[in-house]
Amino acid sequence: MIDLDGPEPLWRQVADHLAGRIAAEEFARRLPSVRTLADQYGVSHTTVSDALRELTQRGLVVTTRGRGTFLAAPPSDGD
């Protein structure tokens, strides 16, 4: 899953893996907490936070302080 000794930064590996899980529709609306994700991936909270920041920049999630991280609304078709 995550290569702790690989050349790719851990936050990017986590972001890419989470993006895949989002694409596979593994999450209904809300992602697990930073603490839960850190435990799942065996990385620090900071690494997960950096990964979520990347996913926010990609437009995949929206993080609200005190509420959590949610899937971003799908883009409109312009209809």
Contact present, 43 and 3 (Cβ < 8 Å):
no
pLDDT tens, residue order, the chain (79 aa): 799 899 999 999 999 999 999 999 999 999 999 999 999 999 999 999 999 999 999 999 999 999 999 999 876 555 5
Number of residues that this document lists for the chain: 79
DSSP character string of 2-25: --TTSSS-HHHHHHHHHHHHHHTT
Q: How far apart are CA 24 and CA 68, in angstroms?
A: 20
